[in-house]
Amino acid sequence: MICFFHTRPVTGGHLMPWCLLVLALLLALARPLCAQGGPAVRPRVEVTGSAVRVSDLFSGTLPAALKRHGGATVFNAPMPGKERVVPGTFLTRKLSLLAGVQDLGLTAPARVCLARKGQRISDKRLLPFLEAVARSTWEGPVSVSELRVAGRRTLPLGILTFAPDTKRVRIRKNRIELPVSVTVDGAATGRLTLSGEAHTMQHVVVAASDIQRGETLTASQVSLALMPVPPSGGNLLTDPALAVGRTATRAIASGTGLTARLIKAKPLVERGDGVRIRYSLGGLVITATGIAKETGGLGDFIKVKNSRSGKAVTCRIIGQRRVEPFL
């Protein structure tokens, strides 16, 4: 080290120790320089488990003091697939509480992102469970659409196992709700509730062209088309002859499936009318009387109160004041 002394004449017999001043400055800078060379926390830390450990925070070989605490938990990890940001100074301050770490000169960026890896359950893995319920409920080819999932779909990494609870399945019209238990590597992680709309492919009556409101339909304006419909039919017409002569209640676009609400038929049954109910069981035909609770035309479904039993049943109008129950 080169030292510089004051060259002016000494008046009191003392030299000005410039070398001591330079040495003091170097000593003051020594500690920050050492701090900059200490282990550095990574700006982004990714883990797979439920805890963030000391060894997760650094890359490369750890000093002996840190390696001794490598398995110690620093933070609880976020939920699978989520992230959490913590201040770097808070992180280094927390690490400095560990024995032997205070003098390592740890450094960290201003913000450290803690991320937990996870796996998201895709629709392709869940939809078959609803399709299995649909096939066991309705006959013929059936499909399920509009899948909705209630519950946490991003789970920890591992082997997924699903257990559908078919005893608690709920079916409302064509909508299915199915609870499914999920485990990861044999450990229970929660339950999902799957729901979706069941559909079958059927030939139904559709508009062959655009139809204006109030227009009376002709045979050239309707046709049959194969469409996905609810297993119950959804009140869609299946016979083109039932659509001819009806009046459109609103504008109908080409290709739209026709229902009794879209095209109004000439009333054959008025509300309060006495009607004849025709039951057909194989070759046996039974008739009864009832009171219409609604007004409708040919092919419409209305509520009819059985005069004898007093029960209301859904019936299809087949003629002037004649209906048959919808079974």
| Percentage of the chain modeled with pLDDT above 90 | 54
Closest CA to 66 of 91, 96, 45: 96
Buried b or exposed e, range 149-181, using 16+ CB within 10 angstroms: eeebbebbeeeeeeebeeeebeeeebebbbbbe
Q: In this predicted model, what pLDDT tens digit does every residue of 131-178 receive, in sequence order? A: 999 999 888 788 898 899 999 999 999 999 999 999 999 998 889 999
Q: 3-state DSSP helix/strand/coil percent for the chain, to nearest 5?
A: 20, 40, 40
User: What is the reported pTM?
Assistant: 0.58
**Fold match flag (120-199 vs 267-325):** no
The terminus-to-terminus CA distance of the chain in angstroms comes to 106
Q: Which residues, 6+ apart, have CB-to-CB distance to 58 below 8 Å?
A: 39, 40, 41, 42, 66
Q: Assign domain 201-264 to its CATH architecture.
A: Alpha-Beta Complex (3.90)
- Alpha-carbon distance of 313 to 291, in angstroms, equals 10
Boundaries of every domain in the chain: 1-36, 44-117, 120-199, 201-264, 267-325
DSSP annotation of 167: G
Locate 131 and state its tokens. 């399709």
Q: Which residues, 6+ apart, have CB-to-CB distance to 307 below 8 Å?
A: 288, 289, 290, 291
- Amino acid 236: pLDDT: 85
- Amino acid 4: pLDDT: 43
Q: In this predicted model, what pLDDT tens digit does every residue of 243-267 receive, in sequence order? A: 888 889 899 999 999 987 888 877 8
CATH no. of 267-325: 2.30.30.760
Position 130 pLDDT exceeds 70: yes
Q: Name the CATH superfamily for 120-199.
A: Hotdog Thioesterase (3.10.129.10)
Bridge partner residues of 94 (DSSP):
none
- Alpha-carbon distance of 246 to 257, in angstroms, equals 14
